[in-house]
Amino acid sequence: MPSCNLSTAPLAGSRFAVVVSRFSPLHVGLEQRIYDLASHYDGVILVLASRPDPADGIGLDSLTGMSARNRYRYLREAFNDDPAISPKKLIWNDEETAADAPAWIKQLKETVLSALAPDSAANATFTVVTDIHDVDRTLRNAWEHDVRWTVGDFVDGSDDLQRTICDDPHNRKYWSVINHTFRREFTTVVLVVGSASVGKTTMVTRLSKLFDAPIAVEYAREFEESCNVDDDELTAFDYQRLILSKFGQNEQALASDANHGIVFLDTDAMVTKTYVERYLPPEEAARLDSTFDMVIRQERPDLVLVIPPVTKYVDDGFRAMQWASDRYRFHETLMKVLDESPYADRVVMLDDKTFAERDAHAIRVIAERTGFTPRN
C-alpha cells in the first residue's frame, strides 16, 4: 500500500493559500488549482469540510457519497510527497453552521493555523478558496474588512462535479478525472465465491487477464502455510486473522496502479463466515460475529458470481479431503450467508454445465451489470 503523510513538518512562511472542499472526490480540475496555488504561495492547507460520518464509522455520507474518514485518508495519500501541501479536516453539523457561523469560522481558523509553525501562525496572511457556495458566501460576509484573512476566486463547478460523480459512481466517463488515490471508491468490484474445488481461482485468473484488471486470489492457503495450521486446526483466533488479512489483500487490489475501473476478488469474508458456521463450534463462531459484520459491510462488491459445486472435488495435496462430502451443505450455507448480506440483489449463479459455458456466462453478466467488456 502507498505511504501517507500521517505526520508532516509544520508549514513555514508568510503567505498561505487555503482550499476548503468536500473532496468527494478530489478531481483533476481541483488538483490543478491546488498545485497552481502551491506555486504562488509559501504553502497550501487543504481543509476537508464534511458532516460527521455515521456513528459506527461505516457507510457513505448521504450528501457526498463517501465517508469523511476515507476521503481524508486518500487526501493525505494524494499529497504525501509534497511538503508544501498540508491536508486537514473540519467536521461540522450543517445545523450548527447555519445557526452559528462565527463558531464555524473560528474552528476553520484553528484548523488552518494547526498546520503552521508557531512563528508563521502569528503573522501570516491567508487566501481561502472554496468550491462550496455556502462556505464562500459565509466567509465573504465575515471577512469583508479583514486584512489577514481574505477570500479568493470561487472554484466554480467543482462541487457540482463531485456530486455528479457520486450520483453515478461507476460511470466510466468520469474515471479519468478522479484522482488516482480516490479511484478505489469508484471501482467496480466483482467477487467470485463458492465451495472448495469449484474453479474460483481459475475463473478469477482468467477474468483478470481478459479484462486486464487487478486480482486478489484466495488467501487461505497462503495463511495456513505461513502459520503452519491445517484446515481442521483453525480456531476463532485464526479465522479472525484470516478475515482481516484477506480484507487487506482485497484492498491492495483496489489500490493497485493497474486498477482501471474493475477488480476481481477470489473469496471474501462471506466465504470465511460460511466456513466458520460449518466447522467451528457455535460458541466459538459467535465470537466472530462483530468482525464479520464490520468487514462484510466494508467490502461492498458490485457483483457476486457464485460457482456451485458441480465439478469433481480435486485432491491437490492441500484441500481437506474430509470436507469433500460436505461441499453441497457448504454451498447451501453460503447461499444463506449471501441472502442475509447487504448484497443479496447482486448475486448471480453460474450454474452452467461446462467450464466454457460458465466463463461465457460470467463475461456476459459482467458486461450487462457493469458495462465492462474484455479488452480488444
Show the domain range for 111.
15-167
Q: Which of 85, 73, 78 is nearest to 36 (CA)?
A: 85
205 plus 329 within the same structural domain: yes
Q: Which residues fall within 8 angstroms of residue 100, CB to CB, at 6 or more apart? A: none
Task: Report pLDDT digits (tens) over 107-119.
Answer: 999 999 999 999 9
pLDDT at 43 over 60: yes
Q: Has residue 7 been placed in a domain?
A: no
Q: Has residue 216 been placed in a domain?
A: yes
302 plus 194 within the same structural domain: yes
62 plus 158 within the same structural domain: yes
CATH code of the domain in which 235 resides: 3.40.50.300
Q: Has residue 316 been placed in a domain?
A: yes
Q: Which residue has the higher pLDDT, 355 or 189?
A: 189
Q: Has residue 182 been placed in a domain?
A: no
**Residue 234 has what pLDDT?**
85
> CA-to-CA distance for 302 and 264, rounded, in angstroms?
11
Domain stops at, among 167, 196, 224: 167
Task: Report pLDDT digits (tens) over 312-324.
Answer: 655 555 445 555 6
61 plus 131 within the same structural domain: yes
**Residue 62 has what pLDDT?**
45
Q: Has residue 30 been placed in a domain?
A: yes
First to last CA, the chain: 30
338 plus 231 within the same structural domain: yes
CATH code of the domain in which 118 resides: 3.40.50.620
**Residue 207 has what pLDDT?**
96
Q: Has residue 118 been placed in a domain?
A: yes
Q: Which residues fall within 8 angstroms of residue 233, CB to CB, at 6 or more apart? A: none
Sheet-wide strand order for 85-91: 85-91, 43-50, 15-21, 125-130, 149-151
CA angle 62, 245, 200 (to 5 degrees): 90
Q: How confident is the model at residue 59 (pLDDT cuts 50, 70, 90)?
A: very low
pLDDT at 294 over 70: yes
139 plus 227 within the same structural domain: no
193 plus 336 within the same structural domain: yes
**Residue 114 has what pLDDT?**
96
> CA-to-CA distance for 340 and 335, rounded, in angstroms?
9
191 plus 56 within the same structural domain: no
33 plus 145 within the same structural domain: yes
pLDDT at 75 over 90: yes
Q: Has residue 172 been placed in a domain?
A: no
160 plus 193 within the same structural domain: no
Q: Which residues fall within 8 angstroms of residue 110, CB to CB, at 6 or more apart? A: none
**Residue 191 has what pLDDT?**
97
Find the mean pLDDT for residues 41-70: 75
Least trusted range by pLDDT, from 28-37, 53-62, 157-166, 334-343: 53-62
Find the mean pLDDT for residues 264-279: 93
Find the mean pLDDT for residues 257-262: 94
Q: Which residue has the higher pLDDT, 220 or 155?
A: 155
Backbone angles phi, psi at 215, to 5 degrees: -140, 145
Cα within 13 Å of Cα(286), Cβ side: 3
Least trusted range by pLDDT, from 93-102, 159-168, 358-367: 93-102
192 plus 161 within the same structural domain: no
Q: Has residue 25 been placed in a domain?
A: yes
**Residue 311 has what pLDDT?**
64
The number of distinct structural domains making up the chain is 2
163 plus 191 within the same structural domain: no
Q: How confident is the model at residue 61 (pLDDT cuts 50, 70, 90)?
A: very low
Task: Report pLDDT digits (tens) over 120-176.
Answer: 999 999 999 999 999 999 999 999 999 999 999 999 999 999 999 999 988 999 999
Q: How confident is the model at residue 218 (pLDDT cuts 50, 70, 90)?
A: confident
Domain stops at, among 167, 202, 236: 167
User: How large is the C-alpha radius of gyration of the chain?
Assistant: 24
Which H, E and C letters describe the chain, residue by residue?
CCCCCCCCCCECCCEEEEEEECCCCCEHHHHHHHHHHHHHCCEEEEEEEECCCCCCCCCCCCCCCCCHHHHHHHHHHHCCCCCCEEEEEEECCHHHHHHCHHHHHHHHHHHHHCCECHHHHHHCEEEEEECCHHHHHHHHHHCCCCCCEEECCCCCCHHHHHHHHHHCCCCHHHHHHECHHHHHHHCEEEEEEECCCCCHHHHHHHHHHHCCCCEECCCHHHHHHHHCCCHHHCCHHHHHHHHHHHHHHHHHHHHCCCCCCEEEEECCHHHHHHHHHHHCCHHHHHCCHHHHHHHHHHHCCCEEEEECCCCCCCCCCCCCHHHHHHHHHHHHHHHHHHHHCCCHHHEEECCCCCHHHHHHHHHHHHHHHHCCCCCC
Q: How confident is the model at residue 227 (pLDDT cuts 50, 70, 90)?
A: confident
Q: Which of 134, 166, 163, 169 is nearest to 151 (CA)?
A: 134
Q: Which residue has the higher pLDDT, 329 or 320?
A: 329
Which of the residue ranges 194-203, 317-326, 358-367 has the most confident prediction, judged by mean pLDDT?
358-367
Grid coordinates representing 204? 478469477
Q: Which residue has the higher pLDDT, 229 or 138?
A: 138
Domain stops at, among 135, 167, 199: 167
As a whole number, the mean pLDDT across the chain is: 88
Q: What is the pTM of this model?
A: 0.86
Asked if residues 19 and 46 have their Cβ atoms less than 8 Å apart, the reply is: yes
pLDDT at 325 over 60: yes
